């Protein structure tokens, strides 16, 4: 006897439908899975057998063939356990086959028949809704995630036995147990798009150490304009603490951003169970020993890496010079375009990675070059080799480059007792929000200043002829590349927005140049 159950599988960031076909035929008892399954899917045979037996159902005593169609696309993961078990019950007459019509399923089975969560449920639920599914069955731990799709009826259960009992009930009882929740009810209040008067939604208390006023301004510029930031300084000057403050300065997630980030984290398998929409902007800080696939994403069936998991938030690369240069150079195109393209023999997929990069490194291997109180132990050749790990094209793509100094003992005491005086160049959260409002209203497609093209800079930023003449002389004297020169103008535009000015003046241009300290990297930097 033949029975079918509908499911889906992941391919990059998208899901594609998979029909699980189960056929019972005379022959030696056994269960064979075809249709390009991976190792985890092949092991479904043992999980399904044990789950059926321990849930009180008859195990197959005939030859069973399970086909995952289409057969020419590779499938992975344990999410096919549940549809295989339901189709097997229908094929053996223990469950009415019409109950599976229009029903989509995904979930991993424990040996005792319990339903365990699996990754990518949000993408699978979105596909099921677009295909007109009557309902979708997911494990209880994935229910909140699936409910983010408003037009889909979600059924959840804790075990296979309870699910079969639920499916056997009357249609009215099923409708009462079906869990529907509109998207706007699932979105928390703080995740709504803020208006100008709601800047306090992302106002944060200062970090444990706030003795770097120039760095605090650089953080505000990065938060307002979406600029990448490089912090160079001796050990213990506060680089990591400054980077950790940046996500709190960014505005709250809009519902669209929250749904996209939740989908990414679900596909990567890092979305916690029993959690629906992601409420905070991500902050990812991979170790410098991570591989290229871990940082960028990859695999036979590509999964998102740390770069894509930081989408909409902050990617912090501490000890930047310790990362292998070949890995860092692969960041060039994603930082420029905000999208990472992964190409394989049979597929090509795009992972969004619109991030704010914050990188931190020491000025030399010992960390003390340039400090007046700690003599550097490194030779000029060692410093040159250390900085050679950072290619010029990569530094060219970082808008804000800042050298930090070691905190004095009085500054460290003030960070402990909270007696820091107000900084004369500090920028408030209201100013950051107002600057974002200005640039999204002025720039084409509401983009941030960091992504403005050269033509958009000329058309929408009120550049005066005298300012362009001065900028041209600066580019010629400092021998800046075309990319670096444009980034200086973008940073100057952000400074003007932070100070609520319609036009860029000479002071903005001069200050923007102060944040490009490492264009010409040398051993004496």
Domain boundaries, the chain: 2-185, 196-423
Look at strands 30-34 and 229-232 and give their pairing: unpaired
- The angle subtended at Cα 275 by Cα 13 and Cα 134, nearest 5°, is 65
Handedness of CA 157, 162, 165, 169 (dihedral sign): negative
Which of these ranges, 39-53, 59-73, 187-201, has the smallest mean pLDDT?
A: 187-201
Q: What is the pLDDT of residues 416-461, one digit of tens each?
A: 766 555 555 567 778 888 899 999 899 998 899 999 988 888 888 7
What the block records as the tokens of 21 is: 């076909």
> Inter-axis angle of helices 429-442 and 482-498, to 10 degrees?
120
What the block records as the tokens of 513 is: 């140049």
- How confident is the model at residue 289, as a pLDDT? 93
Instruction: Single out the residue of 324, 478, 477 nearest to residue 396, CA to CA.
Output: 478
Long-range contacts of 86-90 (CB under 8 A, 24+ apart): 86/5, 86/163, 86/164, 87/3, 87/4, 87/5, 87/20, 87/21, 87/22, 88/3, 88/22, 88/48, 88/52, 88/60, 88/64, 89/52, 89/57, 89/164, 90/3, 90/5, 90/22
Q: Which of 8-12, 357-361, 367-371, 513-517 has the highest mean pLDDT?
A: 357-361
Is 501 strand, coil or helix? coil
Instruction: Please give the Cα distance from 128 to 122 (Å, whole number).
Output: 10
- How confident is the model at residue 186, as a pLDDT? 39
Quick count: other Cβ atoms within 10 Å of Cβ 434?
17
Instruction: Please give the Cα distance from 181 to 154 (Å, whole number).
Output: 9
- How confident is the model at residue 116, as a pLDDT? 95
**Does residue 179 have a pLDDT over 60?**
no
- How confident is the model at residue 147, as a pLDDT? 92
User: Residues 482-501: what's their mean pLDDT?
Assistant: 91
What is the CATH code for 2-185?
Answer: 3.30.230.10
The CATH number of 196-423, from 1.10.1050.10, 3.40.50.300, 3.30.365.10, 3.40.50.10240, is 3.40.50.300
Q: State the average pLDDT for the chain.
A: 85
- How confident is the model at residue 423, as a pLDDT? 53
User: Residues 179-208: what's their mean pLDDT?
Assistant: 37
- How confident is the model at residue 205, as a pLDDT? 39
Which of these ranges, 181-190, 463-472, 511-520, has the smallest mean pLDDT?
A: 181-190
In three-state form (DSSP H/G/I as H, E/B as E, the rest C), the secondary structure along 359-420 is: EEECCCCCCCCCCCCCCCCCCHHHHHHHHCCCCHHHHHCCCEEEECCCCCHHHHHHHHHCCC
Which residue is it, tokens 């007046």?
A: 372
Q: Which of 187-201, 384-398, 403-417, 511-525 has the highest mean pLDDT?
A: 384-398
Is 37 strand, coil or helix? strand
Nearest 5°: phi and psi at 211? Answer: -95, 25
Helices (H), 100-159: 121-130, 143-146
How sure is the predictor about 415, in pLDDT bands with cuts at 50, 70 and 90?
low
Please check whether residue 450 is in contact with residue 227, taking contact to mean a CB–CB distance below 8 angstroms.
Answer: yes
How sure is the predictor about 261, in pLDDT bands with cuts at 50, 70 and 90?
very high
Q: Record the pTM.
A: 0.85
Q: Could you give the percent of the chain with pLDDT greater than 90?
A: 55
**Does residue 196 have a pLDDT over 70?**
no
User: Residues 53-61: what's their mean pLDDT?
Assistant: 90
């Amino acid at each position: 006897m033949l029975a079918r159950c509908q499911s889906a599988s992941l391919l990059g960031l998208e899901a594609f439908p998979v029909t699980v076909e189960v056929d019972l035929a005379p022959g030696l008892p056994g269960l064979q899975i075809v249709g390009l399954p991976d190792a985890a899917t092949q092991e479904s045979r043992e999980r399904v057998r044990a789950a059926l037996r321990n849930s009180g159902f008859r195990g197959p005593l005939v030859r069973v063939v399970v086909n995952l169609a289409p057969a020419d696309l590779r499938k992975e993961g344990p999410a096919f356990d549940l549809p295989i078990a339901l189709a097997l019950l229908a094929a053996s007459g223990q469950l009415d086959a019409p109950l599976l019509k229009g029903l989509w399923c995904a979930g991993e089975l424990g040996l005792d028949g319990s339903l365990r969560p699996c990754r990518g449920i949000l993408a699978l639920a979105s596909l099921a809704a677009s295909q007109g599914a009557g309902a979708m069955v997911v494990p209880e731990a994935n229910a909140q995630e699936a409910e983010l799709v408003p037009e889909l009826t979600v059924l959840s259960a804790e075990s296979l036995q309870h699910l079969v009992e639920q499916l056997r009930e009357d249609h009215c009882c099923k409708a009462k147990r079906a869990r529907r929740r509109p998207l706007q009810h699932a979105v928390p209040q703080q995740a709504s798009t803020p208006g100008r008067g709601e800047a306090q939604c992302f106002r944060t208390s200062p970090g444990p150490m706030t003795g770097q006023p120039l760095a605090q301004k650089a953080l505000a510029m990065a938060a307002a304009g979406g600029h990448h930031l490089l912090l160079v300084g001796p050990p213990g000057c506060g680089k990591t603490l400054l980077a950790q403050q940046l996500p709190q300065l960014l505005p709250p997630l809009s519902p669209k951003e929250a749904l996209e980030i939740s989908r990414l984290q679900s596909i990567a398998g890092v979305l916690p169970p029993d959690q629906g929409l992601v409420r905070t902007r991500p902050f990812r800080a991979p170790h410098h020993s991570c591989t290229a696939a871990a940082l960028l994403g990859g695999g036979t069936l590509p999964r998102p890496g740390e770069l894509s998991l930081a989408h909409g938030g902050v990617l912090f690369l501490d000890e930047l010079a310790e990362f292998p240069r070949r890995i860092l150079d692969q960041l060039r195109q994603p930082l420029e375009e905000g999208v990472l393209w992964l190409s394989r023999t049979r597929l090509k997929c795009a992972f969004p990675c619109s991030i704010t990069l914050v990188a931190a490194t020491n000025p030399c291997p010992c960390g003390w070059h340039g400090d007046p109180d700690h003599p550097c132990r490194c030779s000029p050749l060692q410093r040159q080799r250390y900085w050679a790990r950072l290619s010029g094209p990569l530094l060219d793509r970082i808008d804000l480059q800042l050298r930090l100094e070691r905190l004095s003992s009085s500054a460290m005491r003030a960070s402990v007792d909270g007696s820091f005086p107000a900084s004369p160049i500090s920028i408030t959260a209201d100013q950051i929000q107002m600057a974002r409002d200005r640039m999204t209203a002025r720039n084409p497609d509401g983009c941030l200043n960091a992504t403005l093209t050269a033509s958009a800079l000329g058309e929408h930023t009120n550049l005066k002829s005298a300012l362009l003449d001065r900028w041209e002389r600066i580019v010629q004297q400092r021998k800046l590349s075309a990319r670096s020169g444009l980034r200086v103008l973008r940073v100057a535009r952000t400074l003007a927005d932070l100070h609520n000015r319609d036009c860029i003046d000479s002071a903005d241009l001069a200050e923007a140049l102060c944040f490009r300290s490492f264009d010409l990297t040398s051993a004496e930097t």
